[in-house]
Structure 1
């Protein structure tokens, strides 16, 4: 370093180091003012001050004594501050922005001290260039250090937190706990509300042995986006079930058209997961029951190879879920009840649908024709043809026939011949 610049560097840095505490507190106040995410309780603000002070002390010391950045260590307070922000869910962008703004503020103070020193222009420029170069290098280096610590801590914190939360949720589903407020605190979710239980899952990915990359994170993000449509004033609860499946609950203030809004959101989404819905139900019991209904709805979707949204509130699905608990026996029941009408053909599928609608309307050809938007005589012909394929007329086994047709509707080829 040029002797003149070295002397000027010593004088200016000595002045800066005398103002070090003042500068650190000024930077801390400005960062808390400009970056909303950094405002917090007294403890976190004190730690911000400690982080700023330690960073300023480190870089001023390196500048004053010409210490290479290769020979310095990241300040402990700066690393701890990054960990605390990660634990509190403060975005990483706020942390990185704090270093950029803090750097600009320190450079302003350095420029003032250089101006006060009344140096000749060439020396002032050289000194400012040195300070700028070294501080930029330091900010680049320390940013990498704190970001690494932040990411590691965020991953660890979320893993531990979600694991504990998932355990508590499973305990609640198993029947543990009756104190609503205690449960609310334990899982950070409002248990007194009406709950819409959901199961979200990705279909099998032939190109991967372990499922989609970041699949759980995408499921949780999808649930949050869905919640903004269904219950914009609420935050959902998400618990990973396995690598490609998540359990969700949305606390509803108004359950009207919740399922319809889910379908609309799903239809407009790009590459959405499959979704199974329970019914909106209140309280702790509703939390459990809606989840159970969603599980059964998912079971039907999986057995039938269906995709998209399946809703436990759909008429007939609850009964179909019971039939789906033993598909082998259900298939035998369908074959015995429907005979040749249970064949896996397009023609028989049309006949089964007509017979199902006919029975749903109490044997009314007119009502069935209106729902199917066909002529009365067409319904009459198809019903007759369906019974002919079945091999016998409707009699005392009418209810069995309706159940068998319901199983065909939901499970398709899984129960057909």
Structure 2
């Protein structure tokens, strides 16, 4: 893997490394997926700006797992920690942080949180493998020296990668476009003509905002290229005059498709029917001008968020997800509301799932057994039976279904998936 660490030239140090540190490193490698989940949760709680949404959490998880594996492999081989390279996913996540305007100090802080967590995890296992104080001291000093040297070198490389990407970003037209988009979305920019000039995009047209993500990037494939192709395909599908895509992360982008004449319900229905495997795309309601550009993009982001919570893929229209989007801005309150209104009907067993699904569709179809049965591909009698099951689970009849019940049912898929 690389040049051996010079401190292992001592016979006693080498024996301690082989008998204590190396076995712990192999444990670390094996536990990488579980440790990643714990570390990402901790980093997300401490640094929400670094991971503001599900897509960036997933990107950080890939980066974190690759870093743990590289660390474990370096410890196993006893290589010089200063010579280990950063995993590609770690560099990509740091560079994407530049595009999201995350302060470099927060990226470094995330790395230090991870280092602290791994050090403590390994130290506890080193202690279990040492028979006496002297052996523990030797193994701990070696491990600590190696990991702190590695962390310092890794953080330096992160800082160098961030600075290099920041320089490229600031020089590029992409930076100017990103700043213009940020000003529009935040509401800071309210002059349509000036914003059109800054963005070099006709904001007076009608717009459909998109929030897109690649779910499982393959090998060396460029996620942004896949997203660009998908946006182009959707633009052609609705005869858009222009389209714009802007990266918001390693695997995500914000986009708009636009034309002079208004988009119709047939247009948005065509987008929803478009099959785009491996992608999740939220689509906002059509809007004209600067405010329509801004509002549709915000709605698209909420549509993708709700779709991600419910593990949905493909193209998702905000208008079909507006209720759960509005009601789940505060996820803790929304979860409490769902369980208060639905009780056991929010359960994950098959009976509760089928009963809740049937009740939802039955109410959506204005209590028509026939239409509900057609949507669920079952017999109308099955709808009657499952609705009765739902009433039994709820402990009340749904003759006068309340707004609370309808909203809780709309929210339910998101909270079951999570």
Shift of 1:405: 1.0
Q: Is the 8 A contact 2:176 2:198 kept in 1?
A: no
Paired with 1:365 and 1:213, the residues of 2 have a C-alpha distance of 47
Structure 1 stretch 354-363 or stretch 331-340: which is displaced more? 354-363
Aligned to 1:282: 288
What does 1:348-367 align with in structure 2 at a 5 Å threshold? Answer: 348-363=352-367, 365=369
SS at match of 1:392: coil
Aligned counterparts of 1:158 and 1:224: Cα–Cα separation in 2: 26
1:410 Cα offset (Å):
4.3
Largest Rg, 1 or 2: 1
**1:180 and 2:187 aligned:** no
Provide the secondary structure at the position in 2 that maps to 1:313.
helix
Which residue of structure 1 lines up, in the alignment, with residue 317 of structure 2? 311
Query: Which residue of structure 1 lines up, in the alignment, with residue 226 of structure 2?
Result: 218
Q: Give the superposition deviation at 1:371.
A: 5.2
**Structure 2 residue corresponding to 1:163, chosen from 164, 171, 175:** 175
Corresponding residue number in structure 1 for 2:252: 245
Counterpart contact for 2:169–2:175, Cα < 8 Å: no
Equivalent residues of 2:369, 2:384 under 8 A apart: yes
The corresponding residue for 1:293 is: 299
In structure 2, C-alpha distance between the alignment counterparts of 1:304 and 1:337, rounded to whole Å: 19
Unaligned runs of 5+ in 2: 1-166
In the other structure, the counterpart of 2:239 is 231
User: Are the counterparts in 2 of residues 344 and 413 from structure 1 also a CA contact under 8 Å?
Assistant: no
- Give the secondary-structure state (helix, strand or coil) at the position aligned to 2:319: coil
- SS of equivalent to 1:248: strand
Q: Which of 400, 406, 413 does residue 404 from structure 2 map onto?
A: 400
Task: Report if the CA contact (8 A) 1:275-1:309 is conserved.
Answer: yes
Shift of 1:283: 1.1
Shift of 1:229: 2.3
TM-score by length of 2: 0.54
Structure 1 residue aligned with 2:384: 380
Conserved 8 A contact 1:275-1:310: yes
Matches of 1:298 and 1:283, distance apart in 2 = 23
Secondary structure, in 3 states, of the residue corresponding to 1:302? helix
Q: Distance in 2 between matches of 1:247 and 1:304?
A: 20
Partner Cα distance (2:373, 2:391) in 1: 17
Residue by residue over 1:231-290, the C-alpha shift from the partner in whole angstroms, topping out at 9 and shown as x without a partner, is 25x2211111111111001113341222233345x41x5x55321111111111111110
How far apart, in 1, do the equivalents of 2:280 and 2:366 lie?
34
Equivalent residue for 2:269, pick from 260, 265, 268: 260
Q: Do the aligned residues in 2 keep the contact of 1:231 with 1:250 (CA within 8 Å)?
A: no
Alpha-carbon distance change, 228 to 348 in structure 1, aligned in 2, over 3 angstroms: same
CA RMSD of aligned residues (A): 2.8
* Number of equivalenced pairs: 250
Q: Distance in 2 between matches of 1:157 and 1:363?
A: 55
User: What is the Cα deviation at residue 360 of structure 1?
Assistant: 3.1
1:293 offset after TM fit, Å?
A: 0.5
